[in-house]
Amino acid sequence: MIVKHTSREEILGKLRKKKADRIPIMIASAGSGLVAQLLEKADVDCINTFSGARLRANGMGTMSMMWPILDSNKQTLDYTREDIMPALKGDSFVCACLNANDPLKDMRMVLQQCKDMGVYSASNIGPSITYVDRDSEIYKVLTKSGITIENEIAMLNLAKEMDMVSIGLSFTMEDSVRIMEESKPDIFCFHCGTTQGGLKGYDSGERIEQAAERIEEANRILRPINPDTIFVAHGSALVNPPDFQYVLDNTSCDGFWTGSSTERIPIERAVLSTAQEFTALRFTDK
């Protein structure tokens, strides 16, 4: 198996052309090689790998990656190298979602490992301190111990320095502004929250109209900071294609990012429905 490699210039060239042609840019997460292969076959631009997607493939919720049950970066690097990259032709580029606050690893080494396996993009989502509510006690404890947004910004800057495509993400406006001002990522996603729907989705009660309003409010503030950044939307009430179409029609986003919507939920529906057809079979009386 020889994995096809790409470059930052090639990736950004394709994305900018799609943006100029008014074709939505699509990012999607994959927790297995099969899902990644199908996403590429569907012409998805970017396939994300991160420990949350790997855990979803095992039937756990995304937020389980926040607990000390695994080495998040090792999990991401291992399954990206062994499951994802060998399954792809190279038509989609891969972004590794990394834990920039890993106290046991030099992020330059981690990013170099990504490039060595053919991954030329990195994001700060895997996991990120921005997942944690700012007014919570745990946020104060974590930041006091050195788990900070500063480390994530530094990693995004290092990724660009190493000729990788940087994808910034945040749940809050304060962190979003800092990421945009201090790292000017190639792509930015204002994360609306855990995706609703399916067996493991969390329903915050937010409707698609409300999510779109929050996304566009963020875009209005963030886009002037770096007009060259590509903006995508993700999370919360963005579940099915009509939801994403609503966001495309009612915000200034250049595209969208799917996780559970094209990975966990379709698998839940398809496998359960098909298996129920099989378990409903009975012997025919002769």
Give the residue carrying structure tokens 């495509």.
165
Domain parsing of the chain, residue ranges = 8-277
DSSP string, 12-39: HHHHHHHHHTT--EEEEE-SSHHHHHHH
Of 116, 119, 148, 117, nearest to 132 (Cα)?
148
Q: Is the peptide bond before 127 cis (omega within 30 degrees of 0)?
A: yes
Cα separation, 32 vs 50, in Å, equals 11
User: What is the per-residue burial (b if ≥16 Cβ within 10 Å, else e) of 16-52?
Assistant: eebeeeeebbbbbbbbbbebbbbbbeeebbbbbbbbb
Q: What Rg value do the Cα atoms of the chain yield, rounded?
A: 19
CB 211 within 8 A of CB 236: yes
Rounded to the nearest 5°, which phi and psi values hold at 34? Answer: -60, -45
Indicate if the alpha-carbon torsion angle 5, 87, 236, 202 is positive or negative.
negative
User: In the prediction, which pLDDT does 121 show?
Assistant: 98
- List, in order, residues 6 or more apart from 8 with CB less than 8 Å away: 120, 160, 163, 164, 165
Whole-prediction pTM: 0.91
> According to CATH, what is the number of the domain 8-277?
3.20.20.70
- List, in order, residues 6 or more apart from 243 with CB less than 8 Å away: 208, 237
Helix or strand run (H / E) with residue 73: helix 72-79
Of 148, 142, 228, nearest to 188 (Cα)?
228
Q: One digit per residue, pLDDT tens: the chain, 286 residues? A: 788 899 999 999 999 999 999 999 999 999 999 999 999 999 999 999 988 777 776 766 666 666 666 789 999 999 999 999 999 999 999 999 999 999 899 999 999 999 999 999 999 988 889 888 888 998 899 899 999 999 999 999 999 999 999 999 999 999 999 999 999 999 999 988 777 666 666 667 789 999 999 999 999 999 999 999 999 999 878 889 999 999 999 999 999 999 888 888 899 899 999 999 999 999 998 7
CB 168 within 8 A of CB 238: no
